A and B are shown apart, each in its own frame.
Chain A
Amino acid sequence: MSKKFKVSICSGTTCYVLGGAQMMILEDCLPADIKDEVEVVGSSCLQKCHEPNAKPPFVLINDYLMESASMTKVIDYIREHR
């Protein structure tokens, strides 16, 4: 059965260096209440950093594109939308 949330973390160099690196351990840091509903996948560059005024790091949660993403922002979003 597929999980309710698919979180794709952009690991392109721009996102990675500007704050994304810390999110690579997101899977290990998911709180127990949402852990079973979330699938974390690494993604090659989502191509969003090329746009003017882009705010990396980017994370794609299902269809929602989060800019200036952080671990806590992702967890909060999932809790709000479950």
Chain B
Amino acid sequence: MNYINNAAIIKRQVMVRLAKLILDDTIQDNIDLIPVLMTPKNSESVRCCIHHDRAVVRSRVKVLLGFAAASESQSDEVKLLKDYAADAVQKGEDKFDESILTVIDDACSACIRSKYQVTNACRGCVARPCIMNCPKKAIRFEGGHAIIDENLCVSCGICEKVCPYHAIVYQPIPCEEACPVNAISKDEFGKEKIDPQKCVYCGKCMLACPFGAIMERSEMFDVLRDIKDPGKTTVAMVAPSIAGQFNTDFGKVVSALKKMGFDKVVEVAYGADITAQKETEEFVERLEHKESFMTSSCCPAYVQVVKKHIPSIQSYVSTTLSPMIYTGEWVSNQWPGATRVFIGPCVAKRFEARESTYVDNVMTYEELGSIFIAAGVDVVECDEQEPDKSASSVGRGFAVSGGVANAVIASAASCGVKAVSKPVNGINNKTVSLLRVLDKTIKEPAFVEVMTCEGGCLNGPGVTSSPVIAKKFLEKMLK
């Protein structure tokens, strides 16, 4: 679950400061001051000293400008942020290579490699069941207590179970533990690295890291630049999970977005209505061709899981496009040449958008909220406004797990096709193994809705509200 924590708040504070400079056109003069303003002289430091804190903030600004955190050369280490900002203007989309999530080395604390640790609760007993039962002979006795050799330990956990004093604890590496596809691991210096061949952009490592060392490469710089350009029409395409993100009804968010500078506001739930209809047609056709099941395709991280890790079920994944793409297509016809910005809770949508010609940029609710703050827009104080394109409750229901399956199965039933729902609510190590054998375990006609985030998009990595609150507002929108 996406609990608010200090690391997330600091990230948002940096976002607000950067957005303010972009909006005020003072980025060249003031951007290099952000690390100092965030951690002024004599302030309390979070890490070893304020200089370390400042170095991390500097990297955060760099990532928010859209760059990867790692320095490519020595000159990058001393490059001023204002020079990065100038590069960001020139390079535009070219600054994105395949990585979407990036690790800030200075922030990564290089968590200890060995997952099992002997604490000082060890009494150095005579029985020594830890040593007796370790299958790898990784535990030795030194100075009166047990020590685990991290090079030999295979993290089986037997020592933890047998210790009569509970002196051996399991200490996870949070990012590695959270990654469902083993895409993040340590380099030779103990710092985490993300393997782009394996990463599915789910964002779980980013939420899990207690040091806030993993960030997504932001596109807010590009979005704000287009918003400020009077010659450009900018369209906000807002995902249905917007419900309750600012503790208000959607109508207020619509006018807040327009106040902030978007010319048009469109509900992505409109595209979800189209997805629901087309996906049902596809499902019915597949079942008529004696296929046993079909999985949803609107969750982009799940699509990557199949593509990169479970190609054996690729043919069962629906080929219907996602709500974002259908919405982008509609917007492109309606307002040709407009900048199309998807606003949602999702990291993986950034990748999906890059592969499509119908979407230009992706922003999270977290980024949107920070920009509202920077622009002095209080959503609660705004009036209610209708979006330029609204949607039905079917499409809006896509924001929670079960929404897609309900829509497809209900309308398939009205065509006389009966099927059961076999949802996968949340991608983790366990459900990935389940998906691997899906084609062998499903015996009756089934629709498999897969949501990478447990509970659905309302619990995505870029949300601002607790899913409990957001769900209340969504239920209101579904009436």
A residues contacting B by CB (< 8 A) are: 11-14, 16-19, 21-22, 24-25, 42, 44-45, 49
Contact = CB atoms under 8 A, between A and B. Distances in A.
Classify the secondary structure of A's interface with B.
Answer: helix
A34 B247 CA distance: 26
Contacts of B16: 18
A51 to B, nearest CB: 14
Interface string B364-403: 0010011011000111110000000000000000000000
Interface in B129-180: none
Contact of B373 (A14, A19, A25): A14
B9 interface: yes
Nearest to B4: A22
Interface of B: 3-4, 9, 12-13, 16, 246-247, 256, 366, 369-370, 372-373, 377-381, 464-466, 468-469
Contacts of B464: 16-17, 21
Given A21-B4, A21-B466, A24-B247, A14 B378 contact: yes
Contacts of B4: 19, 21-22
A25 B12 contact: no
Given A22-B3, A22-B466, A24-B466, A17 B372 contact: yes
A68 to B, nearest CB: 9
Given A13-B379, A18-B9, A25-B466, 16 more contacts: A11-B247, A11-B380, A12-B380, A13-B246, A13-B256, A14-B378, A16-B246, A16-B247, A16-B369, A17-B373, A18-B373, A21-B4, A21-B464, A21-B469, A22-B4, A24-B469
A19 B10 CA distance: 10
A45 B370 contact: no
Contacts of A11: 247, 380
A45 B378 contact: yes
A13 B466 contact: no
13 contacts: A11-B380, A13-B378, A13-B380, A16-B247, A16-B369, A16-B464, A17-B366, A18-B9, A18-B12, A21-B4, A21-B469, A44-B381, A49-B373
Contacts of B9: 18-19
